[in-house]
Amino acid sequence: MLSALFNSATSLETIDERLLKCGISRRAFLVFCTSLMVAAPYGLAITDKKTPEDVAAGLGKVIRPAVIWLHFQDCTGCTESLLQTSHPGFADLILNVISLEYHETLMAGSGLQARQALEEAVQKYSGKYILVVEGSIPTKDQGIYMKLGGRPALDVLAEIGGKAAAIVAIGSCASWGGIPSADPDPTGAVGVADLLPDKSIVNIPGCPPNPYTMLGVLLQYAANGTLPEADEQRRPKFAFDRDIHEQCPKRAHFDAGNFVKQYGDQGHREGWCLYEMGCKGPDTHAGCSTRHFNEIPDVWPIGIGAPCIGCTEKSIAFKVPMFQVVQLHTIATPPTSYAPITKTLGTISPLATGLVGIAVGTLATAGYVASRKFSKVEDDESAPGNRPPDSGSGDSPKSGPGASV
């Protein structure tokens, strides 16, 4: 991938060249790099440096990757979330760091003009561009539920995705279907990885995802030509390896047993744990609890008093009812309560042994005596084979076997 990018240097310029051309000062660029170091997710190689100068030196040589952004069945929420980034600003990002070739929400042109731009970009950067997909793709009825320039989304993705160097599926919809795939799923919505399983795809689920995750993935790809290490659901590990519940600022309330019972109650006002309101934090892996949105502390669902809906998990968001309480797995008892000492029962006391012995002996004796009594009953007519002694050999019963002979 790296060599492919460098070979195309004739058509793609580095960030340094671009900044020089636009007359952006070195100071402004260093400020940008500093903000990047602060905001970028932990563990990203390109920003994991000691000084902004180091980052600038590395970043300056990066060839601005061409990015084509396609919208399918989406709400444009992911784009909106990306627009809110301020460190670095979105304008900086799309104008200086990446070369955004096509984006339906942000581009000035429309209609034929826009289609031409798309076709040109695909042709020009064929095999080198990054495709960002936002929204799910309908598959039912030959995909007629979503069309782009008269063509079903299925065909568009097959063509443009096939020529992309890498695909970034942003949002839960593009990752695995998201809201459009929720029951009853009228359009048969699926994610990008379901249609192009062999391409190198990064899923950035979330509704919306944290924009810095997107930024981190794009920067690493541009700098090293590699995609970040991903888990089995193709989510980059640097952003999705932690459990919300383990890092939650409200975890102390969970451990202490302080739960919101109803929206607006005293506990809710005090910022208690939302577990009983159906918070999916214990089952959800994402960086939300440590990296909040819009660079404003506590701006994330749980921070503003709404339970986590598990939007980064395929099996939870839009599948499990929003207020259904999730099962916890290996969470220890909270330190506020302990099991009391269980005493072993110890030895059996002689008194108990004696009492049981007496009871058993009484029963056994009673049984013996009863059986003796029973056997002494002699004149029981109903007992089989029992006859009075005087009616002996003379007259035998008619039914007796071999009696007549």
First to last CA, the chain: 114
Q: Candidates 95-103, 198-206, 290-298, 342-350 — which segment interacts with another protein by CB under 8 A?
A: 342-350
- Asked if residue 334 binds another protein (CB under 8 A), the reply is yes
Contacts of 197 (CB under 8 A, 6+ apart): none
Which residue from 22, 112, 332, 377 is in contact with another protein, where contact means CB under 8 A? 332
- Asked if residue 150 binds another protein (CB under 8 A), the reply is no
- Asked if residue 108 binds another protein (CB under 8 A), the reply is no
Which residue from 27, 343, 376, 398 is in contact with another protein, where contact means CB under 8 A? 343
- CA dist., res. 371 & res. 87, Å (int): 98
Which residue from 10, 344, 399, 404 is in contact with another protein, where contact means CB under 8 A? 344
- CA dist., res. 139 & res. 190, Å (int): 7
Of 364-393, binders to another protein (CB under 8 A) are: 384-385, 387, 389, 392-393
Q: Candidates 15-23, 40-48, 163-171, 337-345 — which segment interacts with another protein by CB under 8 A?
A: 337-345
- Helix boundaries (H) for 125-236: 153-162, 171-176, 192-195, 211-224
Q: Residue 43: exposed, middle, or buried by beta-carbon count in 10 A (0-12, 13-18, 19+)?
A: middle
Q: How many alpha carbons lie under 13 Å from residue 264 in its C-beta half-sphere?
A: 0
- Asked if residue 346 binds another protein (CB under 8 A), the reply is yes
Nearest to 16 by CA among 82, 72, 121, 97: 97
By rule CB under 8 A, what string of x and - marks binding of each residue 266-295 to another protein?
A: ---------x--------------------
The distance of closest approach from Cβ of residue 394 to another protein in the complex, given in angstroms and rounded to an integer, is 10
The distance of closest approach from Cβ of residue 339 to another protein in the complex, given in angstroms and rounded to an integer, is 5
- Asked if residue 331 binds another protein (CB under 8 A), the reply is yes
The distance of closest approach from Cβ of residue 403 to another protein in the complex, given in angstroms and rounded to an integer, is 8
Per the structure block, which two tokens stand in for 288?
């939300």
- 3-class SS of residue 304: helix
- CA dist., res. 1 & res. 200, Å (int): 11
Binding site for another protein (CB under 8 A): 275, 325, 327-335, 337-346, 384-385, 387, 389, 392-393, 396, 400-402
